Structure 1
Amino acid sequence: MTVTAPRGSQRKDAPAAAAVVNTGTSEIRELFTRNLRTSGIYVALVAIVALFAALTGGASLGPGNITNIVLQYSYILILAIGMVIVIIAGHIDLSVGSVVALTGAVSATVVIQHGQPWWVGVVAALATGLAIGAWHGYWVAYVGIPAFIVTLAGMLLFRGLTLVVLNNVSLSPFPADYGQIASGFLNGLLGGAGYDIFTLLIFAIAVIGYAFNQYRTRKTLIGYNQVVPSFPLFIAKILVIAIAVMVFAWQLAIARGMPVVLIMLAILIMVYSVIMQRSVFGRQVYAIGGNRVAAALSGVKVRSVNFWIFVNMGFLSAVAGIVYSSRSNGAQPGAGNMFELDAIAAAFIGGAAVTGGVGKVVGAMAGGLIMAVMSNGMQLMGIDQSVQSVVKGLVLMLAVAFDIYNKRRAGSR
């Protein structure tokens, strides 16, 4: 481990930082325990992937199945991005499943019933989601009704409006262009014999970008005399992640290429990660979730931030509604049922705190992937749906219990 002396303790003629490197087992142990709450979720994800790969005889890691996981669970991951932001701020949103259904219904009505171009349906769905988010944000931020009550009412209200819009019947099919949103692929752009070079290139660029960003972060931490892992362990971490990502890319490349929805999801993850970690708005969300009174005294416009949190949740619910309706090639009155619970579970399993103030977008993605891999693996094994629900419930309970245990342990120090 690299340990640097405080700035004030250095002599003027001394080196800028004195490094002590420990490459023994103690550093490896500390690497996994220093922030178990953050790193544990990724260890759990790897363990669950390995477990179901063994239980299914490798079928869960097949090229076709990996592609299906991306297509089938992308809308849950989109919802989880918005949900983790809501939870960080100390709220909850129970209406997202109903909003998915309503926005998909609006899009289907515009495109299928009224014959408008596919993009008009997309715009109509997004506008509906933004309006719903503003509705929730007004009651939560400016009237002061708890988000649990507002979104519970919204869950009932927007499910009913879905039935009204669809006249209690399903609408299908969408035009082929609309279906490309969730089921389209970018392949063959650069050729490849039995595999898609474009997919491999995109993931290779992503790995290089990740490695460069991690190197810059490491240099910044060293510049501020922060503790960082030794360079060999840093390189090992980058290599492990790079290998895992490129294996995933290879499986996509030999299947059907790069899914369009995966590109959409990657853009959303990058944008919202930057917003939550680097922007003033993101820091204000964390401040409100940590201590709302202190945030207000510090000059944070709590009402305005809370309002835009729910507007954003409405927007992402609409995006998920578009993806889901595209994937199912239609709109159904029962669409989005229980989606809110999957999104909430993904956020909590990914490390979000029940009391707010803690959580990351990438953590929610890891939590969502855990739920996706478990669901997919149990389906491949032919496990009954009731047993799947029991397993998901137990995993969620354990995740929240782990959060509470960490808080108590930290408070006792």
Structure 2
Amino acid sequence: MTAVEGLRDIFTKNLRTSGIYIAFIVIVALFAVLTDGVLLAPGNITNIVLQYSYILILAIGMVIVIIGGHIDLSVGSVVALTGAVSAILVIKNGQPWFVGIIAALVVGLLVGAWQGFWVAYVGIPAFIVTLAGMLLFRGLTYEVLNNISLSPFPSSYQKVAGGFINGLFGGNGYDVFTLVIAAIAVAGYAFSAWRSRMGRLRYQQSVEALPLFVLKLVAIAVVVMAFAWQLAHSRGLPIVLIILAVLILAYNTVTTRTVFGRHVYAIGGNLNAAQLSGVKVKQVNFWIFVNMGFLAGVAGAIYSSRSNGAQPGAGNMFELDAIAACFIGGASTTGGVGRVTGAMVGGLIMAVMSNGMQLMGVPQSTQQIVKGLVLLLAVAFDIYNKRRAGAAR
């Protein structure tokens, strides 16, 4: 494949996946201009990471749910409940910070198992089960907190979402450690991409032209190092960013290189075909929701750490932000299509838009209108692609 053919392939055949990255670059550039560069200032980039990390974590689980042909409307309430349980143990009963974290994860897993049972083994649609869960777990949050907020958490707990790793390698006005970690990440990605390319060539599969492949790696390296440079000039490497990066790498591997991941895509793409192929649909659906509950527990711990307390109304509308991130990132409304990386880019688009509009002083009502229109256009684009693909056949 020549470079010209590769570019044409990116902008036509793979418009669904490549278009989101182009849109992200355009949106970042637009808001950078509209905010006079404040959007890309070191301190603001750090704030974006801290403020939207829990939405991105929820989006990782949500995209797997959506790929499987389901939806989860309860994650915001689960974030509130897990944070509340953690607060009761750490703030009210004086337990160590890690006990609160473990409790949040366990509660998340139990919630996921509860909902997975009703969806997978009883056969109630996920929409109904999680709608009931949204009400049930919000009510339990009020009961756990006795209708009051609890704060503050000890400083050790706050570091989960607000701590930084810096100064290990020194630096004059910037943190060298952050740059070293970013360079290692770029090198690791380049090595993985090269191995994948060589593997495809061995099996005589088509790959992009070598110049285009190198150009893509260079572009990714420039973006990552520029991002790290800004973080290094602020407060260093956020702990929550390390947690998020580990989750992204782990779940990208799970969805693309494991039997479970292939079964999730199979169920969402064609349920009858998956059943006839021997996929254990009930078990896969059960574990999809257990996983979503676990990640909601992670997000609940991080959000409570970030907000330095637990509130009965915490996590309100988080489920809609997570769902929007997945659909903007290329997931299909009918299941079977989507990627973790796409959901992350979709979440970052929402984060950049929200942060940019806040910096511009745009009213909250207008921000909601803009987000709604962006989500609507993303789904319309999905439907347009399906109709075009159907016509092509």
| Bigger-Rg structure (1/2) | 1
- Residue 120 of structure 2 is aligned to residue 141 of structure 1: yes
- Residue 65 of structure 2 is aligned to residue 86 of structure 1: yes
Q: For residue 346 of structure 1, report the CA deviation from its aligned partner.
A: 0.3
Task: Give per-residue Cα distances to partners, 1:196-219, cap 9 Å, x unaligned.
Answer: 111001110110111111111221
In 1, Cα distance between equivalents of 2:206 and 2:105: 45
Q: Decide which of 106, 121, 135 is 1:156's aligned counterpart.
A: 135
Task: Give per-residue Cα distances to partners, 1:219-261, cap 9 Å, x unaligned.
Answer: 1222222222221111111111101110000000010000000
Q: Decide which of 341, 347, 350 is 1:368's aligned counterpart.
A: 347
Kept in 1, the 8 Å contact 2:56–2:347? The answer is yes
Alignment correspondent of 2:27: 48
Q: For residue 29 of structure 1, report the CA deviation from its aligned partner.
A: 3.0
Q: Does the C-alpha gap of structure 1 residues 27 and 78 become closer, same or farther in structure 2, counting only changes over 3 Å?
A: closer
Give the partner amino acid of 2:191.
F
Identity %: 72
- Residue 130 of structure 2 is aligned to residue 130 of structure 1: no
Kept in 1, the 8 Å contact 2:3–2:208? The answer is no
Alignment correspondent of 1:187: 166
Task: Give per-residue Cα distances to partners, 1:14-41, cap 9 Å, x unaligned.
Answer: xxxxxxxx344x5433332230001111
Alignment correspondent of 2:155: 176
In 2, Cα distance between equivalents of 1:382 and 1:395: 19
Alpha-carbon RMSD across the aligned residues, in angstroms, is: 0.9
- Residue 383 of structure 2 is aligned to residue 404 of structure 1: yes
Q: Decide which of 180, 187, 197 is 1:218's aligned counterpart.
A: 197
In 1, Cα distance between equivalents of 2:7 and 2:267: 35
Q: Decide which of 258, 276, 280 is 1:301's aligned counterpart.
A: 280
Where does the alignment leave 5 or more consecutive residues of structure 2 unmatched? none
More divergent stretch after superposition (191-200 vs 69-78): 191-200
Kept in 1, the 8 Å contact 2:112–2:293? The answer is yes
In 2, Cα distance between equivalents of 1:222 and 1:75: 38
Q: 1:250-261 counterparts in 2 under 5 A?
A: 250-261=229-240
Q: Secondary structure at the match of 1:65?
A: helix
For normalisation by structure 1, the TM-score amounts to 0.94
Q: Does the C-alpha gap of structure 1 residues 30 and 291 become closer, same or farther in structure 2, counting only changes over 3 Å?
A: closer
In 1, Cα distance between equivalents of 2:359 and 2:75: 28
Q: For residue 123 of structure 1, report the CA deviation from its aligned partner.
A: 1.1
More divergent stretch after superposition (46-55 vs 217-226): 217-226
In 2, Cα distance between equivalents of 1:232 and 1:27: 10
More divergent stretch after superposition (218-227 vs 360-369): 218-227
The count of residues paired between Structure 1 and Structure 2 equals: 392
Q: Does the C-alpha gap of structure 1 residues 23 and 295 become closer, same or farther in structure 2, counting only changes over 3 Å?
A: closer
In 2, Cα distance between equivalents of 1:30 and 1:355: 25
Kept in 2, the 8 Å contact 1:130–1:312? The answer is yes
Task: Give per-residue Cα distances to partners, 1:53-91, cap 9 Å, x unaligned.
Answer: 011111000000000000000000000000000000000
Kept in 2, the 8 Å contact 1:88–1:357? The answer is yes
In 1, Cα distance between equivalents of 2:358 and 2:315: 19
More divergent stretch after superposition (254-263 vs 113-122): 113-122
Q: Structure 1 stretches (4+) deviating beyond 3 angstroms?
A: none
Give the partner amino acid of 1:307.
F
Alignment correspondent of 1:340: 319
Kept in 2, the 8 Å contact 1:31–1:229? The answer is no
In 2, Cα distance between equivalents of 1:235 and 1:296: 41
Alignment correspondent of 2:261: 282
Q: Does the C-alpha gap of structure 1 residues 332 and 227 become closer, same or farther in structure 2, counting only changes over 3 Å?
A: same
- Residue 9 of structure 2 is aligned to residue 30 of structure 1: yes
Kept in 1, the 8 Å contact 2:164–2:235? The answer is yes
In 1, Cα distance between equivalents of 2:10 and 2:279: 35
For normalisation by structure 2, the TM-score amounts to 0.98
Kept in 2, the 8 Å contact 1:350–1:364? The answer is yes
Q: Decide which of 37, 46, 51 is 1:72's aligned counterpart.
A: 51
More divergent stretch after superposition (199-208 vs 214-223): 214-223
Q: For residue 296 of structure 1, report the CA deviation from its aligned partner.
A: 1.1
Kept in 2, the 8 Å contact 1:140–1:146? The answer is yes
Alignment correspondent of 2:338: 359
In 2, Cα distance between equivalents of 1:272 and 1:95: 21
